[in-house]
Structure 1
Amino acid sequence: MKNTTLLYLSILFLSITNAFAQRYTAIKGRVCSADGKPVESVTIGITNTSLGTTTDADGHFQFNKIKSGTYTVKVTAIGLMPEEKLVTVTAGTIAVLNFTLKENANQLNEVAISDTRKRYKVDNPSPGLRLGEPLLQVPQNIQVVTSDQLKDQQVFNMLEGASRNVSGLVLQDHWGNYALIYGRGDRIASFRNGMNIEATWGPLNEDMSFVDRIEFVKGPAGFMLANGNPSGFYNVVTKKPTGLTRQSFDFTTGSFNTYRGTADLDGNITSNGKLQYRLNLMGQMAESFRPCDFTNRFDVAPVLRYKFDDKNTLTAEYTYQFQRMNAFGTAYLFSTKGYKDLPRDFTNAPSNTPAANIYDHSAYLTFEHKFNDKWKVTAQGAYFNYKQIGYSYWISSIKNNGDIDRSLGLWDAVNRNKFGQAFVNGELRTGAVIHRILGGLDIGDKYYIADYNQSGSLDPVTPFNIYHPNNGAVTLPTFDRATPLSERGKNTISTEKYQSVYLQDELGFFNQQLRLTLAGRFTHATTLDPYSGSTNNRQVTPRVGLSYSVDDATSFYGVYDQAFLPQNGNIFGGGKVKPVTGNNLELGIKRDWFGGKWSTSLSVYQILKNNQLVADPDKHGDPSASYMIQLGQTKTSGIEFDARGEIITGLSLMVNYAYTNSEISKDTDPANIGTPVPGFAKHVSNGWLTYRLQHGTLKGVGLSAGYMLQVDRRPWSLSGPADMPNYFRLDGGASYQLKKFSLALNVNNLLDAYLISGGHEDYLNAAGGTVYNWQAEAPRNFRLSLGYRF
């Protein structure tokens, strides 16, 4: 702490002594419609330069590091006449330039409907990330996936490849209810609207119908939460009212008897625009390429926002998701001979496997108060209630001849989370130094109870043979549901409660050209779980970042951040589980190209993590046990590259590549040192290219193609050889937009390859041999969507 204080004072002194050196100015402003409403995504450029940007959700824009002089600032948007204004700027000042478009909000909405371009690039984080500055200036790798991009790929939910749009991410095995996404050597946490909602077996993965964007934050992020995984997190941002009146409807059909309908209704309830609404609806019925498998779901997501005035806003949001599906675990395949030993449409499940129901409720209440243009306070609370009435399918044993003993158990569960947050963003100046201040507190209370202790064999007399299957109806075990879950699951309750306060100061020197971030967070977290008992942790986690803008489009950064993660698990012999502690050291470069139309980022990093839990390869005489072991220290390092945006008019590109190496660096067992950590792929690359014709008789026709590549994959267990097959998937699509109508056809897995995910290697075999289990992905399949907007 003493050294940090000296560094702070030294830099402050140097900045003051250089206050009279050559300084640059800035130009900022706002674009509004004729009826006074902010206009988002309008292009702002400075003529005769390469500088360009777009307005944010509040209509604001800003250019930094502008030399003194007179400039012409131009506002352009598809279907609108461009507007220009002259502005003269002098050294060390910020010039303010506002535009009022001739069209009102509804007219601008019509223009937006006719725009056939897709937006893959985002310049600013959502308010939920609290940063209040452009992504280009943040000293961290943050990638944003837009709803436009997800719609181009016809992604329905978090289990269907949303992670392909970000470097280094791998979707691991799943049970059909929650998304298990790995990045930088471990599972990344799931956030929604800035709150950490991750649970051991949840939450229910978000349907994309109510999602505005997904922000992937690489590495620790003390400005969000310290008691999280050092590998990072993803933040799902839900749709909010825009103040514009617009509605859209989409209907999709496709392979495996897929039928899906969505509605997005956005508008004002009162004529003065103070009371706004957003309502998203979704209904889906879908079977599978596997026999007797299905997933049906529907969502209702209303949002109300009331603007008391220009300074005070209250937003109330509720989301309900219901999902009915086959029993959890029926998608897994098992063999002693290796991966892909069975046909990909094979199932071990009997024809009368019972279904599981999931009821997922969440509610938010957010209040924002702007003191002025520089200071704002946000307070929000949230309540999540996840209820599951289901069944869990697995196997108890397997022989080399293919005989298995199938087991079906109850999996009833309730997950209740309560959160509270309050934080303030502000800006002040001390001499020549500009301070961006962020501070606040976080409170969380997580509760989970489950009944997974009742199970029985589906094959008590005659084994089921995977090479000569009989998937007929069987006699199901008898379960007790008459006893309340609070009694049945009283020995499985796990809780986590935390309270934390944090303060961050980003010091801007030379008119924000050089930015130094100094931050710290204090967290008190208590946990309780049925295996390792209770824990009580108090931790201070510092954060130091440095970002330097070479010009208005290029920045270099470095960051050091710490995190810790309370965890639980069943260690053989009843050992106590220690929390994960870790730190991330990262360097990178970010650049916008061609007036901000597209961007690239390149980062290198190293994460040191202590006490990581992984699956215990030794079953200790209990084939059905789920023991864990705690590693000493793991080291994960890698390189990540992302590019996204509009390369030329009509041509949008997303491409990424990541090299990841994660291994045990310290351990009580010397034999483990150098062993790869489970659950990552050493080389991961993805791409998605879309081109839409802008002129001629075929105007509005679009073509798209994408790929997913994973090489040198590691299964999700510590034992066994790294023999998971490489992964390559090729997708394609075609679309057409004509005014308010759109038509899109996507074909996934064009090469009809046998693709697998979620590889394990466990010792379930009575003979002590390796048992491979995996999930097969769908063969070639299509989705056809028809949309209407007005």
Structure 2
Amino acid sequence: MKLYLLSVLAYVLTLLAVNAQSGNIMGNITTSDGKPAEYVNVGLKGTTKGSTTNHEGNYKIENVAVGNYTLIASFVGLETQESQIVVKAGETLSINFTLNESAQELSEVVIQANANQYNEEAPSQSLRLNTPLIETPQNIQVVTKAVLEDQQVISMSDGLIRNVSGAVRTEHWGDLYTNIKVRGSQIQAFRNGFNVVNSSWGPLTEDMSFVDHIEFVKGPAGFMLANGDPSGLYNVVTKKPTGVTKGEVSFTVGSFDLYRSTLDLDGKLSKDGKLLYRLNLAAQNKKSHRDNEFNNRYVIAPVISYQLDKNSKLTLEYTYQRAEMSDVGSYYVFSPDGFATYPVEFTTLPSGMPATNIDDHSFFVNFQHKLNNNWKLTGQLAYFNYQQQGSSMWPGAVYEDGKILRTVSSWDAKSKMTLGQVFVNGDVTTGSVRHRILGGLDLGNKEYFADWGQYHMLDSVGAEFDPLNPYYGVPVNGYPQFDYTTPLEERAQAVAGLIDQRYTGVYVQDELGFINNKVRLTLAGRYTTVSQSSYGGTPLTAKRFTPRVGLSVSLNDFTSVYALYDQAFIPQAGTLTNGDDAKPITGNNMEIGFKRNWAGGKWSSTLGIYRILKNNEITSDPNNPNSGLSVELGEKRSQGIEFDLRGTIVNGLKLIANYAYTDSKVTKVTEGITDIDEGDIIPGFAKHTVNGWLTYKIQNGVLKGTGFSAGVTWLADRETYWDESPDPSQTLPDYVKVDAGLFWQKDRIKITANVFNVLDEYLYSGSYYSWLSAYYWQTDPPRNARLSLNYKF
């Protein structure tokens, strides 16, 4: 890392010494009806210098040598416009264009020319950064809408993570919530820039019907969004109105009685185009490769936006998700004899068990105001209300002969979150230094109530459940009948099922651009105050300042290198064995990387090397496991290498490929901890993860529009033991999953068929559980298929 930083410094000094006199060109492109024109190519005739307009129609071309040029604005299928310009040293020239086409006409061309793109050049507005991804000193990967459609991803927990280096899922309770681990730890879940985590079992995994794309931010990002784990976050960006009247309907059928339909409507509510709407609907019935399991979903997601004036816009968004699921604990299998000792479809769930029902509501209000050409103010509020009534199965005992006493506990839960954000973005120049400024305020109030204290034994001693001769009728002790009359808040109080958090964060960031913005130095800081209590622990109030320093250097228009140091701050509540309050988790992240856009930005690659130190994380006291007391582990260290490649390699051929090496260990052990040793592996990751997804579409001839796809996931050296196994030979095998598909697309119709787990491998994750003296695992589906029909109108 030192050698790398010295090389970067040497390059910067050389650049300072030989930098030629140059200037910049910037401007805005609109359509004939005054709307921003996105994806328009702007370039200098006879050179390789160019740019593409963003969602606001803005472009910028930097480091242009002085002289006379012809500036060209072009788009496939549209008339090219030209302007004669003169670039002067140290000046920024402002050139605007107006296209003859309307916003609707342009959008129709965009749909044809930019469909199924796998590569994004800039983050969403909800990440608050006005910096292209190649210039951002951090590893950010975007899973686009086209990727979700091609891979037939229908929820956050449905194969999505294959598109991001180093991302894995361990035991995940079906499709209830998404537990994604990157860089050795679980990353935080965000939606539209808000941290929506309110317990260890949430949020409810998003249905893809209302999702536009997902952004994975590696490393700490608390400075710009909220409190977060030093490993990173994923940000779900929902669909918004585009101002173009259009629609799309889809129908999907698949293995295990999957029946699903979605409707996406987009258009205007007023003739002048100021009042817009977007409406997404979805309905799904879905069973499982295990008997008696089901996961039915219903979604209503309307969005309305109103252009108050040319500088101000208000957006209102509501999402309702209804989930009706079988008991969530049924996904686990237990055996004293080792992993995978039962068939892949084996379950302990009896027929007739009451369902778990979930109602999930979310509201967003977003206001954007353009103060002038250089400054923009954004304010947004969010309210989340989640209610769950259900149960969770877990063995009360696992005997040496494999028989099980099945236990069911209540799992009623309620979550309320009220969140607010106000931030300002600025882009100004002082002398020869460009400043991309970000500053703002975050506020949050989160409450979680859960009753898991009611128990019911399905089986009796002498009449245990026998996996070798399973009976799935009415259990000998009948079905559970829990108390729902007592208010949930009272029941949660009785079992310490309470979480309460309030936080305030103030942050500021300045990205200083030197040498015509070829060298960018990021200086940022955040001051956070948090008050939190959880699971009956002592209330905790904590305050902390977390800094961030980043350096990004453009070696040329398509290549950059970066280095980053930042910190994370995560409050935690609990009572330590020695009587002290738990300290907040702190983390230090050091990262260096290389980014390059290829073929004019059609595909991109990122290579990153990181090292994370995480301190003060608490866990149950191993010497008193049932006392409710905790101890501090000490220090964890995660380090590794990540590589991502995505985009259109050649016309018709799109590829996503990634690799990650992850190493996560305990480096310091708190005095008195006997069950954990220095050097122990932190479970829940794979040392090597390899993913690939390739799609090819025939461009000409009688088979034009026909294509095929193929994908592979390989997880090697998986580390998932929470408790030490008594049998060293019982280790998790490598995970290898192969998928393949065909599709046909013509005009507005697309038919897609995919086969998942083509090799029909027995795929699972799991661990040893010392409390039951048994191994547990959770299987992925065997070979299965999906067929979708999409029609755009």
Please indicate the TM-score interval, normalised by the length of the shorter structure: over 0.9
Specify the alignment match of 2:263 in structure 1: 263
- Per-residue CA deviation, residues 286-308 of structure 1 (Å, 9 max, x unaligned), is 11111011100011111111111
1:731: which partner in 2? Answer: 739
Secondary structure of 1:465's match?
coil
Q: Which piece of structure 1 moves more, 498-507 or 50-59? A: 50-59
**Distance in 2 separating the partners of 1:244 and 1:470:** 56
Given the alignment, which residue of 118, 127, 130 partners 1:129?
A: 127
Match of 1:632 in 2: 634
- Paired position in structure 1 for 2:109: 111
Match of 1:341 in 2: 341
Output aligned runs, 1:379-418, within 5 Å: 379-418=379-418
Bigger mean CA offset, 457-466 vs 83-92: 83-92
Would the alpha carbon gap of residues 708 and 74 (structure 1) be closer, same or farther in structure 2, given more than 3 Å must change?
farther
1:679 paired residue number: 684
Contact 1:191 1:233 in 2 (8 A): yes
Tell me, yes or no, if the aligned pair for 2:707 and 2:742 is still in contact at 8 Å. Answer: yes
2:473 pairs with 1:465: no
CA pair 98-382 structure 1, distance change in 2 beyond 3 A: same
TM-score scaled by structure 1?
Answer: 0.93
Under a length normalisation based on structure 2, what TM-score does the superposition of the two structures give?
0.93
Matched with 2:780 is 777
Q: Which residue of 2 aligns with 1:660?
A: 662
**CA RMSD of superposed structures (Å):** 2.3
- Contact kept in structure 1, 2:223 and 2:546, CA below 8 Å: no
Instruction: For 2:321, give the aligned amino acid.
Output: Q
Q: Does 1:578 align with 2:583?
A: yes
Query: How far is 1:105 from its partner?
Result: 2.2
Instruction: Tell me: CA distance 1:430–1:43, structure 2 relative to 1, closer, same or farther (3 Å).
Output: closer
Q: Which of the numbers 756, 771, 774 marks the counterpart of 1:764?
A: 771
Superposed displacement of residue 507, structure 1? 1.2
For the pair 1:712 / 2:717, whether they are aligned, the reply is: yes
Q: 1:116 to 1:549 in 2, by over 3 A?
A: closer
Deviation at 1:628, TM superposition (A): 6.3
Distance 1:290 1:673 in 2: 40
Partner of 1:161: 159
Q: Deviations over 1:34-80 (max 9, x none)?
A: 32222223344444444454322112222222222344444444443
Deviation digits for residues 386-415 of structure 1, max 9, x if unmatched?
000111111111112111111011100001
Q: Which residue of 2 aligns with 1:511?
A: 516
Question: Does the aligned pair in 1 maintain the 2:538–2:574 contact within 8 Å?
Answer: no
Partner of 2:500: 495
Note the C-alpha offset of 1:564: 1.2
Where in structure 2 are there 5+ consecutive unaligned residues?
A: 1-8
SS at match of 2:289: coil
25, 28, 43: which is aligned to 1:27?
Answer: 25
Kindly state the Cα deviation for residue 354 of structure 1 after the two structures are TM-superposed.
1.4
Q: State the AA in 2 paired with 1:692.
A: K
Deviation (angstroms), 1:380: 0.8
1:246-267 CA-to-partner distances (Å, cap 9, x unmatched) read 1111111111111111111111
SS at match of 1:595: helix
C-alpha contact (below 8 Å) 1:678/1:718 kept by paired residues? no
- In the alignment, structure 1 residue 183 sits paired with structure 2 residue 182: yes
Compared with structure 1, are the counterparts of its residues 509 and 783 closer, same or farther at alpha carbon in structure 2 (3 Å cutoff)? Answer: same
Q: 1:704 aligns to what SS in structure 2?
A: strand
C-alpha contact 2:640 2:662 (8 A) present in aligned 1:
yes
Kept in 2: contact 1:731–1:749 (CA 8 A): yes
The corresponding residue for 1:350 is 350
Tell me: CA distance 1:81–1:647, structure 2 relative to 1, closer, same or farther (3 Å).
Answer: farther
Offset, 1:699: 1.5
Q: Report the CA distance between 1:117 and its aligned residue.
A: 4.3
* Structure 1 unaligned blocks of 5 or more: 1-10
Check conservation: 1:334, 1:773, Cα contact below 8 A.
Answer: yes
Contact 2:723 2:770 in 1 (8 A): no
The CA deviation string for residues 478-507 of structure 1, in whole angstroms up to 9 with x for no partner, is 311111112111232111110111111111
Find the counterpart in structure 2 of residue 362 from structure 1: 362
The answer to whether the Cα contact below 8 Å between 2:39 and 2:110 also exists between their aligned partners in 1 is no
Name the CA distance, whole Å, in 2 between partners of 1:604 and 1:355: 45
Residues 1:481 and 2:481 aligned together: no
1:90-489 matches, within 5 Å, as: 90-115=88-113, 117-175=115-173, 176-200=175-199, 201-225=201-225, 227-461=227-461, 462-474=463-475, 475-489=478-492
Distance, in Å, in 2 between the alignment partners of 1:569 and 1:460 is: 36
- Greater RCO (Cα-Cα under 8 Å, separation 6 or more): 1
Using the alignment, how far apart are the partners of 1:346 and 1:53 within structure 2?
A: 55
Indicate conservation of the 8 Å contact 1:226/1:562, yes or no: no
Pair 703,614 (structure 1): closer, same or farther in 2 beyond 3 Å? farther
Q: Secondary structure, in 3 states, of the residue corresponding to 2:109?
A: helix
Provide the C-alpha distance between the structure 1 equivalents of 2:734 and 2:649, rounded to a whole number of angstroms. Answer: 30
CA drift of 1:226 comes to 5.5
Asked whether 1:539 is paired with 2:544, we answer yes
Kindly indicate whether the alpha-carbon contact (under 8 Å) linking 1:617 and 1:763 is maintained by their aligned counterparts in 2.
no
Offset from partner CA, 1:657-715 (integer Å, 9 cap, x none): 11110000000348611111111111111111111122222221121111111111111
Q: Is this contact kept in 2: 1:451–1:492, CA < 8 A? A: yes
Distance apart, 1:212 and its partner CA: 1.0
User: Structure 1's 695 and 27: CA in aligned 2 closer, same or farther, altered over 3 A?
Assistant: farther
Q: Distance in 2 between matches of 1:299 and 1:510?
A: 50
From the superposition, tell whether residues 226 and 313 of structure 1 become closer, same or farther in structure 2 (CA, over 3 Å).
Answer: closer
Judge which range, 748-757 or 561-570, deviates more.
Answer: 561-570
Q: Kindly provide the CA deviation profile for residues 125-176 of structure 1, in whole angstroms up to 9, marking residues without a partner as x.
A: 1111111111111111111111111111000011112121111111222123
- Contact 1:432 / 1:509 at 8 angstroms: preserved in 2? yes
Match of 2:755 in 1: 747
Between 482-491 and 104-113, the greater mean CA deviation after superposition: 104-113
Q: What residue in structure 1 maps to residue 4 of structure 2?
A: none
Runs of 4+ in 1 over 6 A off after TM superposition: 17-21, 570-575, 615-619, 625-628
Confirm or deny: 8 A CA contact 1:687 1:707 kept in the other structure. Answer: yes
CA–CA separation in structure 1 for the residues paired with 2:330 and 2:763: 17
